């Protein structure tokens, strides 16, 4: 089980990412428009990149990390199920996940 503080930190990052999503998207579109239309001056580039860097760092989507839905484990997560590997294996063996078959070798 992951520490509760780490899980709460991840939830806070998700909220921040949703809050600043439109600001980041609009500044990225502005960068693309300036690059296509003409060669922007250095001061224009700095101004646009300053807007892109103005939101908090934790609002960046690259800082988000998937965690296991039941345990909060940050590693070995399967996107389809939202579970870590060993929890997924336990639930498949118990027959709790429909459509998943267990394998043995």
CB 87 within 8 A of CB 103: no
| Distance from C-alpha of 52 to C-alpha of 31, rounded to nearest angstrom | 9
Domains located in the chain, CATH noted: 66-105 (4.10.830.10)
Residue 83: the pLDDT is 93
> Encoding tokens for residue 92?
């498949």
pLDDT in tens, 28-43: 888 778 776 666 677 8
- Count the neighbouring beta carbons within 10 Å of the beta carbon of residue 87: 19
Look at the pTM and tell me if it is higher than 0.85. Answer: no
Question: Tokens 């998937």 label which residue?
Answer: 66
């Amino acid at each position: 089980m992951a520490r509760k503080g780490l899980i709460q930190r991840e939830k806070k990052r998700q909220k921040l990412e949703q809050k600043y999503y439109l600001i980041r998207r609009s500044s990225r579109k502005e960068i693309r428009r300036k690059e296509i239309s003409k060669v922007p001056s250095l001061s224009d580039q700095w101004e646009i990149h300053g807007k892109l860097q103005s939101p908090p760092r934790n609002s960046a989507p690259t800082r988000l990390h998937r965690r296991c839905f039941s345990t909060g484990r940050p590693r070995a997560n399967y996107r389809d199920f939202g579970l870590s590997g060993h929890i997924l294996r336990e639930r498949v063996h118990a027959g709790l996940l429909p459509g998943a078959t267990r394998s043995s070798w």
